């Protein structure tokens, strides 16, 4: 069973995370969103904010959690982090006032803007896509063309990985069900068995699935798919009215997140200690937690066009992303790209990275 390259649901909306991360449930932190205007540049009390993340994993979204624990918000923000069941659910919490920040995929946010919501993305966290096409080191597969007549595995038919894969392969002249087949292998270690049996020659996977396979000893090689370089994922979405009224809060939010990202890159064990102190279930399987953290940190790596600036949204990439949504029929027309706002990025990066090593 395959799907057309044209669809109403974007390929990264499910993020491919929730099922594989079911054991990594964040405890609900409680509290309600505080949308009052609080600009810490005037020396007022910390802004009590609620951020909702799009999957139940503190490891996968550690910067705001670590920033709160380490005091990197510098007294400007008192942040509560809660988990939603996907980006769409997280966006609904933001729109309804149950959250102040949605750390989620761009798709649902852009759709909400098209429908009239006045939102803005103030920080780009995942600078690359959550999905990748993986093969084994001895497969001989190096390009999409090498998969003509072959079988590509996905965790389940109709989920995020397949919706990501099909249009990218189609752009290379390879149609699902005609030039290659798609096989649902199941999640976890199941794809490894499918590789060993010769049932699949490649596997389209979210980063959490890749972490599982590497932990099981798989030697994976990524197959580059032209066009996938435009994709990025988790962004910080907020209501524009709040952002404009509280620039000091936004600067503190971005700077703290950037500092936590740098700290985490230099101190991965400390990140797991912080996450584990709050959510012990996440580190119950420490080898998996370490593997997931390593895969997550690869998503934070800045592209050259970001010029070393944490939180930066690359204009060419977000313009291409919007165009892809339109071509897929998810958006009826292009959304103004000023949704992706780099105004505060210079302030985000005003800290001494060396002091965080």
pLDDT in tens, 245-296: 999 999 999 999 999 999 999 999 999 999 999 889 999 999 989 989 998 9
Are 118 and 245 contained in the same domain? yes
Helices (H), strands (E): how many in the chain? Answer: 12, 10
Are 275 and 185 contained in the same domain? no
The side-by-side arrangement of strands in the sheet containing 235-239 is 77-83, 47-53, 101-104, 235-239, 119-124
Are 70 and 160 contained in the same domain? no
Report how many domains make up the chain.
2
pLDDT in tens, 338-349: 999 999 999 999
Of 199, 230, 261, which marks where a domain is finished?
230
Q: Is 245 exposed, middle or buried (0-12, 13-18, 19+ CB in 10 A)?
A: middle
216 token code pair: 């099981």
Q: Residue 310: give the domain boundaries.
A: 40-128+232-356
Are 44 and 89 contained in the same domain? yes
CATH number at residue 183: 3.40.190.10
DSSP 180: B
Kindly state whether residue 9 falls inside one of the protein's structural domains: no
pLDDT (mean) for 207-234: 88
Kindly state whether residue 331 falls inside one of the protein's structural domains: yes
Are 64 and 205 contained in the same domain? no
pLDDT in tens, 5-64: 333 333 333 333 333 343 333 333 333 344 444 444 445 789 999 999 988 889 999 999
SS3 44: coil
Closest CA to 277 of 18, 75, 81, 66: 66
Helix axes 268-278, 62-70, angle to 10 degrees: 80
Q: How far apart are CA 336 and CA 310, in angstroms?
A: 23
pLDDT in tens, 319-345: 988 988 888 788 899 999 899 999 999
Element (H, E) at 14: none
168 token code pair: 């990218």
Are 116 and 249 contained in the same domain? yes
């Amino acid at each position: 069973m395959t799907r057309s390259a044209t669809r109403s649901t974007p390929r990264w909306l499910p993020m491919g995370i929730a099922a594989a991360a079911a054991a990594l449930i964040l405890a609900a932190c409680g509290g309600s969103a505080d949308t009052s205007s609080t600009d810490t540049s005037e020396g007022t009390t910390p802004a009590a904010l609620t951020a909702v993340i799009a999957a139940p994993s503190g490891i996968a979204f550690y910067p705001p959690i670590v920033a709160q624990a380490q005091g990197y918000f510098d007294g400007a923000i008192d942040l509560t982090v809660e988990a939603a069941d996907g980006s769409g659910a997280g966006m609904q919490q933001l729109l309804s006032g149950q959250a102040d920040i949605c750390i989620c995929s761009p798709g649902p946010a852009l759709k909400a803007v098209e429908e009239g919501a006045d939102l803005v993305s103030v920080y780009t966290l995942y600078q690359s896509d959550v999905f990748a096409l993986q093969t084994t080191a001895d497969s001989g597969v190096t390009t999409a063309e090498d998969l003509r007549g072959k079988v590509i595995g996905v965790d389940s038919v109709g989920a995020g990985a397949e919706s990501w894969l099909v249009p990218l392969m189609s752009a290379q002249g390879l149609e699902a069900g005609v030039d290659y087949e798609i096989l649902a292998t199941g999640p976890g270690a199941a794809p490894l068995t499918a590789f060993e049996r010769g049932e699949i020659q490649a596997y389209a996977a979210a980063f959490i699935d890749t972490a599982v396979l590497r932990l099981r000893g798989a030697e994976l090689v990524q197959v580059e798919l032209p066009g996938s370089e435009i994709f990025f994922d988790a962004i910080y979405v907020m209501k524009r009215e709040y952002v404009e009224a509280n620039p000091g809060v936004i600067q503190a939010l971005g700077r703290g997140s950037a500092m936590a990202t740098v700290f985490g890159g230099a101190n991965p064990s400390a990140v797991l200690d912080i996450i584990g102190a709050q959510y012990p279930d996440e580190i119950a399987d420490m080898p998996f937690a370490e593997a997931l953290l390593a895969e997550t940190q690869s998503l934070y790596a800045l592209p050259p066009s970001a010029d070393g600036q944490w939180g930066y949204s690359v204009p060419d990439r977000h313009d291409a992303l919007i165009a892809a949504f339109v071509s897929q029929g998810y958006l009826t027309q292009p959304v103004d790209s000023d949704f992706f706002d780099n105004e505060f990025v210079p302030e985000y990066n005003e800290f001494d990275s060396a002091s965080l090593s």
